[in-house]
């Protein structure tokens, strides 16, 4: 019986040590990502749009409201822009703010449209510790709509992967390109 108690205590201590290490690594990773994003934050001259939640409900579809205003997530591999290869600009579905250019998009195989950068000042970030994870949420700098999250595992020189819900964006095709 004492041997069982001993192994239980050892297992608990090992689990706590692993958890503590994970939290420390997550905190360091968050600091590293924040330093990459510091120069990308919107300046104070961005004209923000403020509406009541009732006004947003009247303007947006139920799915758009859920994602943009309630910070929801669409199911992976279901978004209409996941496989889009056309040239143009991705705008906020709530306010039309230009967010990402098509040349910033890449296939990350994560199930959501991914971009390695943003249009300068178009996206703001905030620490998100929901669902037992520590992540960096991305939001439209103009209306505050939830777009998704940004991660520091991108394959390009920015090192970033903006993982975006298709429902939160609209695509404006460049008509000059044939």
Which pLDDT score, from 0 to 100, does residue 47 have? 82
Which pLDDT score, from 0 to 100, does residue 32 have? 61
For residue 133, pLDDT over 70 is answered with yes
Q: In the predicted model, what is the mean pLDDT of residues 59-88?
A: 97
Q: In the predicted model, what is the mean pLDDT of residues 107-133?
A: 95
Q: Shortest CA distance to 163 belongs to which of 76, 96, 94, 95?
A: 76
Q: Within a 13 Å sphere around the CA of 123, how many CA atoms are in the beta-carbon half?
A: 30
Q: Could you report the per-residue pLDDT of 22-49, keeping only the tens digit for each?
A: 444 555 555 565 555 555 555 556 689 9
Instruction: Check residues 178 and 176 and name the one with the higher pLDDT.
Output: 176
Residue numbers annotated as active site: 163
What global pTM score does this model have? 0.77
- Poorest-confidence range of 3-7, 95-99, 146-150, 156-160? 3-7
Which pLDDT score, from 0 to 100, does residue 176 have? 80
**Which residue matches tokens 């209409």?**
80
Look up residue 54 and give its two tokens.
Answer: 């009732």
Look up residue 13 and give its two tokens.
Answer: 């201590």
Q: Within a 13 Å sphere around the CA of 50, how many CA atoms are in the beta-carbon half?
A: 2
């Amino acid at each position: 019986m004492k041997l069982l108690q001993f192994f239980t205590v050892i297992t608990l201590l090992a689990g706590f040590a692993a958890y503590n290490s994970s939290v420390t690594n997550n905190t360091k990773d968050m600091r590293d990502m924040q330093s990459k994003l510091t120069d990308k934050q919107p300046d104070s001259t961005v004209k923000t749009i403020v509406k009541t939640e009732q006004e947003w409900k009247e303007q947006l579809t139920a799915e758009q409201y859920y994602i943009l205003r309630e910070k929801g997530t669409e199911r992976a591999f279901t978004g209409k822009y996941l496989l889009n290869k056309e040239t143009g600009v991705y705008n906020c579905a709530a306010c039309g703010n230009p967010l990402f250019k098509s040349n910033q998009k890449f296939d990350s195989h994560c199930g959501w449209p991914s971009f390695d950068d943003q249009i300068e000042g178009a996206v703001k970030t905030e620490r998100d510790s929901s669902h037992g994870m520590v992540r960096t949420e991305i939001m439209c700098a103009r209306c505050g709509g939830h777009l998704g999250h940004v991660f520091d595992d991108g394959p390009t020189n920015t090192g970033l992967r903006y993982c975006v819900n298709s429902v939160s964006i609209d695509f404006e095709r460049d008509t000059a390109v044939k």
